[in-house]
Amino acid sequence: MNKPTLARNIAQITAVFAIMLVSISVMGAGCGADKAMEKNETKVENTDTNTTKDSGADEDGDEHADGEHGTTTETHVEIDTTKPTSTTAPATKTPVTAKPATTANKYKDGTYSATGSYNSPAGAEQLPVTVTLKTDTVTDAQVKVVATNQKSKYMQEQFANGFKQYVVGKKLSDINVGKVSSSSLTGMGFNDAIAKIKTQAAVK
């Protein structure tokens, strides 16, 4: 996977969002930070009998309009970081503690904006997009409905309301399922090894 420059990353996100108004699938834009996810193994087995309960079709607020093409150009990029920059040098010579390498970001934390352009049957349209990055992950994204043409405005609103689908999670004990699908529960050997390593690696 290529590592795009930040400006191109925003342009890509804007382009994707603009095309979203006339197409279906949403692609998350997260870049996960390097983080070892060590979890205790829990045995998840649910032997309840199958239910015929109708869980309901998944909500999908996307619109698909044939014949509308999106062209996008990035018109401007505002960079608005949340961290204030320090302009004074330290007065005394104190040793600088380096940030651990594993937590160094590829992209600076902050909020970034750009406006994408596209064409609708009503003419040229704009869509301002703002994303917030924290430890290389998109933690928030907003789009602004600015279209004035009635149909274009409707399409932008539909998109603004539906483009993000973020996971919340419900307790397995609260929902009725016949089975649970997950990553493979590991056998004893692997878990033993993890336990040994944790003991060895623990700061004494």
Partner 1 sequence: MPRASFAFEALGTHWHIDIEDLPHTLGGGLLLEKIKERLELFEQQYSRFRPTSLISLLAKNGGTAPLPPDGKTLLDHYIAAYRLTDGIVTPLIGQVLVDAGYDASYSLVPKKMTPPPRWEEVLSYSPTTITLERPTQLDFGALGKGYAIDIVDEMIASYGISSRCVEAGGDLIYHSKTAEPLRVGLEHPEDASLAIGVALVNNGYSICGSAGNRRSWGQYHHIINPKTLESPRHILAVWAIAKTTVLADMLTSCLFFVPPQKLLTECAFEYVIMYADHSIEHSPGFQGELFS
DSSP strand pairing (77-80 vs 137-143): unpaired
Give the C-alpha separation, 87 to 80, whole Å: 17
Least Å distance, CB 138 to partner 1, is: 5
Closer Cβ to partner 1, 46 or 73, answer by number: 46
Least Å distance, CB 35 to partner 1, is: 7
Closer Cβ to partner 1, 81 or 176, answer by number: 176
Closer Cβ to partner 1, 55 or 85, answer by number: 55
Give the C-alpha separation, 141 to 143, whole Å: 7
Q: How far apart are the first and last CA of the chain?
A: 39
Least Å distance, CB 22 to partner 1, is: 15
Closer Cβ to partner 1, 55 or 86, answer by number: 55
Least Å distance, CB 197 to partner 1, is: 6
What is the DSSP code string of 25-77? -------PPP-------------PPP------PPP------TT---------E
In one-letter notation, the amino acid at residue 9 is N
Burial class (CB in 10 A: 0-12, 13-18, 19+), 204: exposed
Least Å distance, CB 55 to partner 1, is: 5
Least Å distance, CB 85 to partner 1, is: 26
Mention every residue, 6+ apart, whose C-beta is less than 8 A from residue 6: 107, 108, 112
- 118, 20 contact by CB (below 8 A): no
> What is the contact surface with partner 1 in residues (CB under 8 A)?
1, 24-39, 41-47, 50-53, 55-58, 60, 102, 137-139, 164-173, 175-187, 189-190, 192-194, 197
Give the tokens for residue 186: 């590991």
Closer Cβ to partner 1, 73 or 191, answer by number: 191
Closer Cβ to partner 1, 97 or 182, answer by number: 182
